A and B are shown apart, each in its own frame.
Chain A
């Protein structure tokens, strides 16, 4: 062999710690802290634990979906039907509730409907090779359409008291069930994406799906599972949201899909696939929650709030690019 001249190749040039401190996530964390400080200076009500706890409801449900969506986007796919899946899950649960199904049955139906919707998307994308953006724009209309057929202008109300706990209950002190679920899911998804073989395959497929297939990876199976997971998380979000609102209307969760995608992109996930992290999405969820809450305390109207969130997204994404261009 020619290995007489073998040079030693080091494992890493940068320690993972150095890399973390120079990452997008670190920058985003600084933004979050800055907003936190600005909010606490702007309003005397901000630092109240109960107010902060209440405020967490404006991002927890979306963040649950954003974790699964992040993995989907990293793998080079997208699911725009998530809000419609919520509507369909909620409608199924509402109909079952009217038929007298107990709380555990409602939960099972919510999860099952979410999984079924995810499986349908996954089958069309992974099984038939259709582009996910087209498929999920289609199912976005389809799922919500079914919900409209079932309900019309009406609503399901009168959920049992036990069902309210998922959206209104507290595990301990100010920590709501939703907030605890958010933390637990953040940990589970971090482990799944960053510490398992499955997570590695998600990155491989997002960077080069052809080479993944030429390396023996079951690309379509991974894609199918990711859609299933997104459907399941949408089902969980539907249970929380329905429980919190105490009613189901076909217009429930309208526009959630864009806020979820915003969260994912703000968290540093490349919309072209291949890179991103769950901690980034967690921080992005906090940033969006803090901004919305802070502006709410200052009595900024909702429409202005969405303008500010949009500007924030463009600003945070564009600034590093502008900075790099300016330095060149």
Chain B
């Protein structure tokens, strides 16, 4: 079978980083090809090349056996390549039909938009993907899954032949994911070539026909999914066998460090109380929206609690600003790395030293040698991969950005570190490094709070787990009580049949 689209010898560099080095990729009609690789392997770069956003320095793009170029996003669209991104770019204030046909709406003879025809066409497209949506509905009234359907209908409306799905299930619920799988089958039946990017192995094995693996910007292997095992794929991705077991060490739990009592907020949470000890990893589990991040951000001084008190090593502390939290020894690694964690546009070393400037400077004057020394020390401890410490942190992969944010906080020598979804969206290799490091920190006597929605991670890493539901603490589990069933029951509010 001849591929619809084929890349050969693609190379793309950024200052200090070779993002892609002579990679190849083939996409076949009616087949799903999974693109697999750690963060930083070059997956996003190849998507941007396929959609005309980046231009490769070397290599060829062949569509239907004819060599071509995608100098602009429009050119890629015209060649039938379309992408559905993690966070799909759509317009909330427009209707479903307008979103589908934006930029290429059918016109009347006067050159005005032919609304009736547009809505009829939209209805036909939505029906072809079994999407039960009203073309006249405003997009802002739809859920995330429905928005995905609109994005897919939009992809079909430009008669796409190659559909790129970049982590399409990241924000979807269980049921919505299954609907997406059905949709992929529909697209396959229509003969579309699909490039599917995902970190989740179960889903790759479920829907992909072929795989291509990249590592550090290099092509590693490709083949049929039927002929490969999960362990082989993992090994290809990381170039070594990865220990799937959580590296939790037996902790020696010490004296209480942080005691929270009666923390409340007018709308987000109520009556939160717990005690955290030295050397302990305390897991916070719950459904999205249970108020876990809000509690943590209140402890870190981002939001103000309306009631309640917090004690650090027995002393009452009032935390009104983040500066006061840092001074009290509480630090927070946020879930939203890009917006709240890393200062993109500034070099790695300046990100690391940001909260420690008072220590690396003298009388308010910067001392670069001290800053580099501190940054070198902590980035090495986290096994950061970067071209130089002077490199823009925005050019790093998600996993490495996370390492920079963690390094930044460790350099302040905190008493309590709060990690909010520390491994969300980062690859297996970096994930293991973060887990490993967390374990080591606890062993050194740091008190760790880990907010996570991944049950294996919560159970694998925590000494104790607090489950939150609708802004309140629903249950607390330790030892044998820490089972997936107990956590889920408490999170959704099913009382255990005693």
Contacts and interface: CB of A to CB of B under 8 A. Distances in A.
Interface of A: 1-3, 5-7, 9-14, 195-201, 203-204, 207-208, 210-218, 274-275, 328
Interface stretch (B19-27, B257-265, B349-357): B349-357
B327 to A, nearest CB: 8
Contacts of A218: 321, 323
B361 A197 contact: yes
Nearest to A3: B383
Given A1-B437, A13-B387, A211-B341, A196 B366 contact: yes
B397 interface: no
Interface stretch (B43-51, B100-108, B228-236, B372-380): B372-380
Interface in B376-415: 376, 379-381, 383-391, 408
12 contacts: A2-B436, A3-B383, A6-B380, A9-B388, A9-B389, A13-B391, A196-B361, A200-B366, A204-B346, A214-B300, A274-B345, A275-B345
A177 B372 CA distance: 41
Q: Which of A1, A3, A9 has the most C-beta atoms of chain B within 10 angstroms of its own C-beta? A: A9
A9 B380 contact: yes
Nearest to B301: A216
B342 A211 contact: yes
A197 to B, nearest CB: 5
A19 to B, nearest CB: 9
Contacts of A198: 364
B381 A3 contact: yes
A198 B437 CA distance: 32
Given A216-B322, A274-B345, 5 more contacts: A1-B440, A14-B390, A208-B343, A210-B339, A216-B321
A195 B363 CA distance: 11
B432 A11 contact: no
Nearest to A205: B343
A212 B361 contact: no
A216 B388 contact: no
A195 B325 CA distance: 27
Contacts of B380: 3, 6, 9
Main DSSP-derived SS at the A contact region:
loop
Nearest to B300: A214
A2 B432 contact: yes
Interface of B: 16, 55, 300, 302, 321-323, 325-327, 332, 334, 339-346, 349-350, 354-355, 357-358, 361, 364-366, 372, 376, 379-381, 383-391, 408, 432-433, 436-437, 440
Contacts, number: 115
Contact of A12 (B345, B388, B408): B388
Given A11-B376, A196-B365, A200-B357, A207 B346 contact: yes
Given A13-B16, A200-B350, A7 B385 contact: yes
Contacts of A1: 381, 383, 436-437, 440
A176 to B, nearest CB: 31
Nearest to A204: B343
Contacts of A208: 339, 342-345
B388 to A, nearest CB: 5
Given A11-B349, A207-B346, A217 B354 contact: yes
A198 B384 CA distance: 28
Contacts of A215: 322, 343, 354-355, 408
Given A3-B380, A13-B16, A195 B365 contact: yes
Contacts of A3: 380-381, 383
Contacts of A207: 343-346
A6 B321 CA distance: 36
A274 B364 CA distance: 21
Contacts of B344: 207-208
Nearest to A273: B345
A6 B437 CA distance: 14
B352 to A, nearest CB: 11
Nearest to A197: B357
Contacts of B341: 211, 214
Contact of A196 (B354, B364, B383): B364
A31 to B, nearest CB: 25
Nearest to B381: A3
A12 B389 contact: yes
A2 B428 CA distance: 13
Contacts of B323: 216-218
A218 B339 CA distance: 17
